[in-house]
Structure 1
């Protein structure tokens, strides 16, 4: 029996669980749990360990399908899958949700996080949910792939359609297995629709694509306060003027506004490139995280017991989902 392995990765809601459910011959193993963070605004459950399924291409060849959790707080599973369970995989399918505010940020982030695997394995980028928003288009993704120095094909697909997912597999491993792909695709098109595990999602609220510069609305302060461990926040313009704040400390407001002017100077005198966040940590009180966007800064005060990396990921999801 010839066996191959394939890993699916990408942000929450991109379609990893759905893709594996669609492809797997038998009900796939899912480790979905109810969410208690900002993801609840998008879907009711999220993968916390991994998804697993298996597809028999014929009597002698099968492919094992592994799906990673989308959230950084389960990053240990990324390392376990790529270094242990599926270290000998055929490659990585990186699914990107086309309705997120900045798909490029997701592409860049996950390409960096899985860079060791990408350096030695094949990569295909699958763009999902383009039926809900057509932009960015394929040419834009191909430009990003070139900018990031990646070698990867970009495929637009519907993770709910088995024929789409089989066509993706054919692109990926068609030269490594002796499978009757035309027949597999025909059978997928003609097969009765399967009942898949329900993935509860909030009604899609898709905004127009406005390019890669994310604009933070005034309501971001109220949204951030719903994140566990956050104790206050303030939004300021690039000129340092406070737009809205939940903080009772005017000096702290002024400091966050001051950081709006300091960060560009820091970028100019350092070799670090674009600065997206600055964190001031305390051992015995609150931390201050300042997040920098185009013409705006957001200051967030959080408990020193709150992971600043997880806080950043939670904020990114809020911004990505508008």
Structure 2
């Protein structure tokens, strides 16, 4: 039997598990686990290894469907799928959740992470949940794709719609497939709804669209304390004035304020471009991470045993979900 492969990637809650479960002939294999971090505000479980399903295109051909976990801490699976298990795939479906605060950041991040695969395979960007928030518009995504130097189609899809997914699949493997696409579409029209565990709850957050700019509210200090390993945090202006803080040590507050003023100097004297974060790591004491947004700086004190990369992504998730 001839076999094809397709990879689905994107942030938590964008619809990867849902799409694979809906598209598969049989209930897909999911490696979901209960959520214990900031993702819990959006969904109860998340993929920790991969999703897998398959769809028969004909009696002699089928397509294997692989879904990556969305969180950075499981990114080893991204490399395994893109460079080993599905390295010979037809392409990458990048699902982007239109209800997050800055979909552009997600697009840019995942394009960078899967750049080696995108350089040799076809890419289609599927924007989900546009029924809940219509911005950004399709034209904005197309502009971002051009800005990132990519050749890729962007389309708004419903990850729960088998018709949408069959049409997407046809664009990827149509030339290689031995399939009656009209029959597959007719079958998709008649397909019963399948229970999909990874769909965000109806009350899951829909953030205000902020373009590329993220605004940190005062409540971010309390929210970030829920991240494992965080000892305290302080929000400051880009001039170093503390807005709010959970730190008991005024010297730490002063240091974070000082770092807020130093970051622009880093940008001026280095070739790093825009500096979004500075991390000071210690083998014996806590780590201090300073994250820079528009006219705002968040300082986070965390255990030296906690991963600063995971902390960065969890903070991004907090900001993306408002």
Quick one: distance in 2 between partners of 1:282 and 1:188? 55
- Please give the residue correspondences for 1:308-319 in structure 2 after superposition, counting only pairs within 5 Å: 308-319=308-319
Confirm or deny: 8 A CA contact 1:11 1:97 kept in the other structure: yes
- Please give the residue correspondences for 1:75-224 in structure 2 after superposition, counting only pairs within 5 Å: 75-191=75-191, 193-199=192-198, 201-202=200-201, 203-224=203-224
Quick one: distance in 2 between partners of 1:207 and 1:306? 28
Confirm or deny: 8 A CA contact 1:159 1:165 kept in the other structure: yes
1:6 paired to 2:11: no
Structure 1 gap ranges (5+): none
The match for 2:295 is 295
CA, structure 1 residues 207+39, in 2 after alignment: closer, same or farther (shift >3 Å)?
closer
The match for 2:271 is 271
Quick one: distance in 1 between partners of 2:40 and 2:128? 20
1:200 CA displacement:
6.2
Quick one: distance in 2 between partners of 1:140 and 1:32? 33
1:54 CA displacement:
0.4
Q: Write out per-residue CA displacement over residues 60-89 of structure 1, whole angstroms, 9 at most, x where no aligned residue.
A: 111000000000100111111112111111
Confirm or deny: 8 A CA contact 2:104 2:211 kept in the other structure: no
The match for 2:44 is 44
TM superposition score normalised by structure 1: 0.97
SS for the counterpart of 2:160 is coil
Q: Write out per-residue CA displacement over residues 85-122 of structure 1, whole angstroms, 9 at most, x where no aligned residue.
A: 11111111110000011111111111111111111111
Confirm or deny: 8 A CA contact 1:45 1:200 kept in the other structure: no
RMSD (CA atoms): 1.1
SS for the counterpart of 2:8 is strand
CA, structure 1 residues 88+130, in 2 after alignment: closer, same or farther (shift >3 Å)?
same
1:196 CA displacement:
2.0
Confirm or deny: 8 A CA contact 2:13 2:43 kept in the other structure: yes
TM superposition score normalised by structure 2: 0.97
Q: Which moved more, 1:117-126 or 1:205-214?
A: 205-214
SS for the counterpart of 1:150 is coil
1:208 CA displacement:
2.9
Structure 2 gap ranges (5+): none
1:10 CA displacement:
0.4
